[in-house]
Structure formats: C-alpha cells, structure tokens
A and B are shown apart, each in its own frame.
Chain A
Amino acid sequence: MKHHIIIGAGPGGVVAAETLRKTNPTDQITLIGDEAAPPYSRMAIPYLLVEDIEESGTFLRATDHYKNHGIDYIQGRVANIDPNTKTCVLEDGSNLSYDELCIATGSTPISPPIEGIDLPDVHSCWTLEDARQISALATPNSNVVLMGAGFIGCIILESLVKRKVNLSVIEMGSRMVPRMLDENAGGLLKQWCIEDGVGVYTSTKVNAIKLADPDINNGSSMQVILDNGASINADLVISATGVKPNIQFLQNSGLEIDQGVLVNNKMQTNIPNIYAVGDVAQGMDFSTGEYTVQAIQPTATDHGRIAGLNMAGKNAEHNGSLNMNILDTLGLISTSYGLWMGQEGGDTAEIYTPEVFKYMNLRFGIDDESDVLVGATTIGLTQHVGVLRGLIESKIHLGEWKQRLINNPMRIMDAYVASTQELDNVVH
C-alpha cells in the first residue's frame, strides 16, 4: 500500500485526491491544506460577496466527504519537502513520509511595488479571509478603487457594483481584460461598464495610495494617486494585478521550476514520484505547445484528474490544456478560447454589432489546419458556448462548414453536430 500526499486543498488537489481514491480504493491518501476553512473554491467568492451564498456554499465538497472517501485531511502548512528521504516537513515541525507527492499549492496575488500597498484597507480578493475584509468595507456608497481590470478584477467588479459602492477601476493596459479579450470585446466591456456607472480608467497606473484625514477628504480614509495626476478618494482599495505560483517552499527541492513547477503531459515533474497540478503547475498549453501557468479552474481540475489517474497506477496523458475563460460583467457575458488572437495567415469569421453588444470572432488555423477552429472570442453568447471547446480540441476539419461559419459564425453548434453525427443516408 502506497502513501500519497497531496499538498494544497483547492480544486486541483481535491480532484487529484478524489480521482486517486476512485481509481485505487486501498492506498493511503493525505490531503494537506493550510487555510482555516474546509477546502473551498475561490471561484465562489464573488457570489459570497453579494450574499447569494454563505461561506459553506463555497466549500468544494460536503465537510464529511473526505472522511467518507478515506481521504485524511490535515489542516497545516508544508514548510519544505525532501525528495531524497521522501518526506514533507510541516510548519509545526511534524514530518510525513510519502511514496508519491502531488503539489497543488495554487497561487498568491502579486503585491505591486506601490507606495501604500501595505495600508490596512488595501486588500486582494483571493481568499475567504479577504472576502470577509472586503464585505466589511464595501458598504453602500463607500468609495472603492479596484486596481486591475484583468480576469479576476472583472469577475469581482460585478459583486462590488451589486454591493452599491462607488466603483472606480484602474487598468494599466489599453483595454479591459487585455490577456483574454481582443480590442473589440474589451472595448464593448468597457462601454458596458461605463454605461452602468462604473468609472473605468484604462492606460492608467496607480502611483501611490496615501492615508487621508477623513474629515477633510469627504469621509474617505485614503487617496489613490494616478499617473495622470488625478486622485480618487477611497475607503477600500482592492488589488487584482495578477498572481504568482506558490513555489517558495520548493526552493532547494531539486524540482525544475520556471514560472511554476514544470510538468510533462502526465503532470509529472522532473522527479518521477512528484506531480504538480493547477495554478502552481507550468504545463503544456494545447494551442501553442508551450509550457505556461494558466491559472484557471478547468485546467486545475483537468490536471488534478490526470495526476490522480497516474498516481493510481494508470497511464493518463493529455495533449495540453486549452486556455478558456468566461466572464459575466454586470450581465454582459464574454468568453475566450485558445488562440483567440488568431494565427498569422489564418482566416477569421466575425460578426460585430456594437449597438447591441454582440460579438463573435472565430479563428481558423493555417496550412493543413486551415479549416480547423483554433480560437474564439464571444460577447453575449450563452447557448452552446462549450461546443467551441469541442471544435477546437477535437481539431475537427470543418470542410464546407468553414465557409458557412464565415457567412454566419453563430452556426457553431450546427457545424459541430453536422461534423459528429451521420446526417447522410436519410430515408424519410
């Protein structure tokens, strides 16, 4: 009987533990998480902020789930690992020895080097504890400045608006969500937010956050100084300027680390009995073949499943994870998939009707993949959006459907159904 230890109890670690248990009923499984709450999902935080759910609604599984499935859950923090003796050292000094290890420690928000970033009412929005702090400060009519209109920034934007705060969003890039949405889509999103009364400042930087005397600052305790000289009053500043993998405790472990822990297509690191998954892992991107840290939920759970199968003695491999995102910003739903920015020389199918906030852009590949979908951006699409993943990942040759999609990109589902079902030899 082997002992498997999984460090980190977010979605990546939990799915790895469950898959392992399902596939191998007898091995010993220990899941270690350092947060005070039972394993939970960061993705549910926006819904906690608007009080749609309670904290228990963010939990990944029922609290007795781990025990019921023979997974030992330990609340504690791993200080370091020693692959030579195959041990994990916890911060409380205890040691645990393993046969196989899975690193699923996720990522932590970056703290940008800005004067005032350490002030007490400046928070990230990453953990349940952060959410509690934000809930206490983001009261109706309070002044809130959100630094960063990236993916996470835009996800919490809606929650803040629903909490009826006066919101200003500051983004360094030239558009909103620059790493997920193209100019058309990012532009539509910005216009949508402005029409909803949110102050959106793109191509703008925060230079400093200064304490202010509320008595002479309209009641607000801080001033956010922008690089254009302007300043905004703030009761709360939320920093959402990116994340970095939690790899510090792995220094000197002998693991190959670049931005994250490098893993092959089995989620295995350079040390064969150590796996890494999720936000901490740098694995292959389906579209580019490059090794990147995607830091998205579907990738964390896909990674977790593959690592779990391999740790259970199966032979599971993927061909890379497809980068994909979906955002609901005050009711405007945007998605992007794969090579949404296109490939040099590849064809495009597009409809763009900004008056009604509708946009769809499909990207085709090149050479012998010139009729294969490689990426997409959509605004305002909710029906059958997942089929974009199916079309991209299955590399379906669209044949005559390519031209039909160029004529009408909305027909993605027709294209998929026609390509996967036998429509021929019909006898009515």
Chain B
Amino acid sequence: MQKSLHLDPAKCTGCLQCEMACSYEKLGEFNPSRSVIKVFTFHEEGRFAPYTCTQCDEAWCLRACPVDAITMDLASGAKIVIDDKCVGCKVCTISCPFGTINYVQETGKVAKCDLCGGDPECAKACPTDAITYIDANATGYDRMKAFAEKSLPSANTSA
C-alpha cells in the first residue's frame, strides 16, 4: 500500500518543527526558508496550514521538464528532482498548479518534496499529528488533492 502525507490544518499550531526538520534533512542546517514544506499563517482566522507537494498523479512538473530531470520513485511514488540533470529552466515551477516546486537561486535548480525516500522527516517532527504519513487513500489530504485535481480542467479524462 502506497503511503502519502496527510496534512490536517485543524491540528497545526504553527510551531514550524516540520520546516526545521525538512531543512535540516535537506541542507544539514536549520533554514526554514528553504524547507519544501511550508506552514501558511492565516492571521485573520487565527489558523495555520502546512502544505507541500501532493505527489499528484498528473505530475505536471515531470511532464513539462525538457531534460527528464524529474522522475518518479517507484517505491514511494514521490516525484524527485535529479539535481545533476536539472538545468534550472524553471518551466516546472510555472507548470505545477499547486505551487509546490520552487526555484532556488542559491543552487540554480529547483526543489520539491521527495518524501525523504519514504520516511518523511516533517511527519516525524510534528508534535500534534497535523502531518502524518499514512495509507494513501485515507481522509482529508486526499480529498484536498482530489478537489484540486478535479478542479483543473486540463486533468479531465475518462476511460
């Protein structure tokens, strides 16, 4: 059974442990600005929402890449950027309708969530279970993903 990240804004307190853990895993330093999971703050509502790549089936980023620098990890289902191949053209960043693959000026390449090879650090770091790594067809996050994908016209297909 493939697992996916389940993000539950209702449980998020905005403590940013996930951003810390993500940047530490990826860069070896605490640098939340380069974390690929982001917590969005809604002052008006007093709410927080963790958000990252849904590893969507459409994989707009992967398809748009001109040099095959994004591949799918068969074990985890994650879409992964191969740094050595990425030329930094950024076309994936405008193609991803979720806004979850970003250009990093320091490296001249793009960064996105790769599920840490199937053991995501953000989920382990989250003290409130706002981020969990669970069977793919469970609850909320999947609904959000389904909503987002369904609402995108270019995804309309039927057998």
Contact = CB atoms under 8 A, between A and B. Distances in A.
B153 to A, nearest CB: 4
B100 A384 contact: yes
Interface residues of B, number: 50
A315 interface: yes
Interface in B127-159: 140, 144, 147-148, 151-154, 156-159
B95 A386 contact: yes
Contact of B157 (A44, A46, A314, A414): A314
B105 A382 contact: yes
Nearest to B39: A417
Contacts of B99: 383-388, 390, 412-413, 416
21 contacts: A41-B66, A44-B67, A286-B153, A301-B64, A302-B154, A315-B159, A333-B103, A382-B90, A382-B102, A387-B99, A390-B97, A393-B154, A404-B44, A413-B38, A414-B41, A421-B51, A422-B140, A422-B144, A423-B42, A425-B10, A427-B10
A420 B7 CA distance: 12
A109 interface: no
Interface of B: 7, 9-10, 13, 38, 40-42, 44-45, 47, 49, 51, 60, 63-64, 66-68, 85, 87-91, 93-105, 140, 144, 147-148, 151-154, 156-159
A335 B94 contact: yes
A62 interface: yes
Interface string A383-418: 111111110011110000000100000001110111
Contacts of B64: 297-298, 301
A58 B66 CA distance: 8
Contacts of A143: none
Nearest to A319: B153
B100 A62 contact: no
Contacts, number: 172
A413 B99 CA distance: 8
Contact of A420 (B85, B101, B144): B144
A412 B152 CA distance: 17
Given A301-B64, A427-B10, A393 B98 contact: no
A318 B47 CA distance: 35
Contacts of B157: 309, 314-317
Contacts of A301: 63-64
Nearest to A390: B97
A422 B147 CA distance: 11
Interface stretch (A185-193, A222-230, A234-242, A320-328): A320-328
Contacts of B151: 393-396
Interface string A289-307: 0000000011001100100
Given A60-B66, A420-B144, A386 B101 contact: yes
Contacts of A383: 99, 102
Given A384-B102, A421-B49, A423-B9, A43 B89 contact: yes
Interface of A: 11, 15, 41-44, 46-47, 52-53, 57-62, 286, 297-298, 301-302, 305, 309, 314-322, 324-326, 328, 331, 333, 335, 337, 382-390, 393-396, 404, 412-414, 416-418, 420-423, 425-428
A333 B90 contact: yes
Nearest to B10: A426
Nearest to B97: A390
A388 to B, nearest CB: 8
A393 B51 contact: no
A15 B63 contact: yes
A326 B42 contact: no
Contacts of A389: 94-97
B63 A385 contact: no
Interface centre among B13, B49, B103, B157 (most CB of A within 10 A): B157
A1 B136 CA distance: 36
A425 B153 CA distance: 29
A418 B42 CA distance: 8
Given A393-B97, A416-B98, 9 more contacts: A43-B67, A47-B88, A297-B91, A316-B157, A318-B156, A385-B94, A394-B152, A420-B148, A428-B13
A394 B148 CA distance: 8
User: Which residue of B51, B67, B89 has the most chain A CB atoms within 10 A of its CB atom?
Assistant: B67
B39 to A, nearest CB: 10
B144 A60 contact: no
Nearest to A47: B87
A102 B19 CA distance: 46
B40 A60 contact: no
Residue of B87, B154, B157 with most partner-chain A CB within 10 A? B154
A59 B67 contact: yes
* 9 closest cross-chain pairs (CB), A and B: A387-B99, A390-B97, A41-B66, A384-B99, A319-B153, A386-B96, A394-B151, A43-B66, A47-B87
Contacts of A44: 66-67, 87, 89
A361 to B, nearest CB: 16
B90 A315 contact: no
A383 B90 CA distance: 11
